[in-house]
Amino acid sequence: MIDEILSLVDKHEEWRGKKCLNLIPSENVMSPSVRRLLSSELGHRYTARDRFYMGTRFIDEIEEYGEKIAKEMFKADTADLRPLSGHIADLIFLANFSKPRDTFMCVSPEDGGYPGMWNEGLAGLLGLKAVAFPFSKNDMNIIVEEAEETIRRVKPKVVVFGASLITFPHPVKELAKIAKEYGACVGFDGSHVLGLIAGEQFQDPLREGAHVLLGSTHKTFFGPQGGIILADKEHGELLKSKVYPAFVDNAHWNRIAALTLALAEMKEFGRSYAQQVIRNAQTLAKALHEYGFPAVCPHLGFTRSHQVILNYGGYEKGRKIAEKLQEANIIVDCAVRIGTCEVTRRGMRESEMLKIAELLKRVIFDREDSEKIKAEVAKLCSEFQNVKYCFDK
Ligand SMILES: Cc1ncc(COP(=O)(O)O)c(C=O)c1O
């Protein structure tokens, strides 16, 4: 039994870790030191705010250290590393600033909003009435004037910016003020773009009027998988007092240690990483567009994030494209979103983006033999096995 389990993981590591071109925008790679901390002794331990457990002195110091870096980096009054995922961070936020039958606004899943927040997800769970931001698919953004009108009409208790498909900064500056005038609590779900916000290359939601910035720590951020909440004093302190006992008890302290180091990496290397992620996405989008791929928003320069979106008009066609690429060990999702976060962290730059665009073209348009492409993908990946933008040499 043990051999089978170990062998499955080994096979996965060999395939996804070494042979595949990983272009999923919700994924990234951790540095060797962050990975080490994730499997450290802390993974066996408990700590609690009321000091119920003995033996926690180092764990508590690590958490404090991580919170300190996070507060400085995001210029937030409070930071909470305990949410076990971006989804749980969303739950903590929505559950504490709304009550059943309240109205809340976010980007609809049809327009690229996070489905986990919509009716089948948290809105349904919490009994909220979800109202979609008016959205332009052509510009991949919220339509400001219409959104103002909707806010006036529905008077939402909570407004959440951010989305799963996000190529351009959302108009927080333009809309937060009016949402607040009508009594809303304003959040920004930065799950996808947290690393770009940390590197000061996207937008700065807390300065633009959001009360709370929340999200995952492993998409554009440097991992491990988990969640984070950053906020102003009033909202942050309230949330901190509610995380336990309602939402998270054991925060998985090995994860907190790994996240603390990931935060330190981001503080040191985040700016140059985020700049390169965006340059790579723009280069890749332009090259794909020139080959004839349906990259969205050519009139806006395609993207200002880590995502390049290819519009195949739905998951059915998208899945066919994604499956075809998978045959050649090029991994994307069915949206079809292509992310440059992981390949950038592995050290790839503009010239590799041109190569990737060419590989995609040869799979999809030229229908070249996938075994031949696979060999080229493996060669490209073998040259970029080390994680960059970290303290490890
Ligand atoms: C905008 C957004 N928020 C939240 C989540 C959930 O994040 P997690 O996987 O960390 O729970 C996702 C997942 O992809 C997302 O796209």
pLDDT, tens only, 246-267: 999 999 999 999 999 999 999 9
Length of the chain: 393
Span from the CA of 53 to the centroid of ligand 1 (angstroms): 32
Span from the CA of 342 to the centroid of ligand 1 (angstroms): 17
At 376, which amino acid appears?
E
State the average pLDDT for the chain: 97
CA distance 1 to 149: 61
| Pairing between β-strand 141-142 and β-strand 135-136 as defined by DSSP bridges | antiparallel
Residue 49 has pLDDT above 90, yes or no: no
CA distance 82 to 170: 26
Q: Which two tokens stand for residue 234?
A: 């009033």
161 lines ligand 1 (CB under 6 A): no
Q: What is the pLDDT of residue 48?
A: 85
In the structure, how many helices (H) and strands (E) does the chain have?
Answer: 15, 13
Dihedral angle of Cα 362, 365, 368, 371, to the nearest 10 degrees: 70
List the residue whose alpha carbon is closest to atom 3 of ligand 1.
191
87 lines ligand 1 (CB under 6 A): yes
**Shortest-distance atom of ligand 1 to CA 226:** 10
Does the pTM surpass 0.95? The reply is yes
307 lines ligand 1 (CB under 6 A): no
Span from the CA of 69 to the centroid of ligand 1 (angstroms): 23
Is the peptide bond preceding residue 107 cis, with omega within 30 degrees of 0? no
116 lines ligand 1 (CB under 6 A): yes
**CATH class of the region 270-382:** alpha beta
Is the peptide bond preceding residue 245 cis, with omega within 30 degrees of 0? yes
Give the residue from 200, 280, 227 showing the smallest Cα distance to 21.
280
Span from the CA of 4 to the centroid of ligand 1 (angstroms): 31
90 lines ligand 1 (CB under 6 A): yes
Residue 50 has pLDDT above 90, yes or no: no
Residue 212 has pLDDT above 90, yes or no: yes
Span from the CA of 363 to the centroid of ligand 1 (angstroms): 29
pLDDT, tens only, 30-39: 999 999 999 9
Residue 120 has pLDDT above 90, yes or no: yes
Q: What is the pLDDT of residue 323?
A: 98
Instruction: Write out the residue limits of the CATH 3.40.640.10 domain(s) in the chain.
Output: 33-263
**CATH class of the region 33-263:** alpha beta
Give the residue from 392, 383, 285 showing the smallest Cα distance to 343.
383
CA distance 166 to 226: 20
Q: What is the pLDDT of residue 162?
A: 98
Separation of first and last alpha carbons in the chain = 36
Alpha-carbon distances of 84 from 188, 254, 265, 328, rounded to whole Å: 18, 12, 20, 34
The whole-number average pLDDT for the span 3-12 is 98
Q: What is the best residue among 107, 191, 196, 228 to mutate for testing ligand 1's pocket, by most ligand atoms within 8 Å of CB?
A: 191
26 lines ligand 1 (CB under 6 A): yes
- Band the pLDDT of 51: cuts 50, 70, 90: confident
pLDDT, tens only, 59-102: 999 999 999 999 999 999 999 999 999 999 999 999 999 999 99
220 lines ligand 1 (CB under 6 A): no
Span from the CA of 353 to the centroid of ligand 1 (angstroms): 26
Give the residue from 124, 48, 91, 21 showing the smallest Cα distance to 348.
21
- Band the pLDDT of 361: cuts 50, 70, 90: very high
Q: What is the pLDDT of residue 314?
A: 87
Instruction: Write out the residue limits of the CATH 3.90.1150.10 domain(s) in the chain.
Output: 270-382
Which tops the pLDDT comparison, 156 or 315? 156
- Band the pLDDT of 292: cuts 50, 70, 90: very high
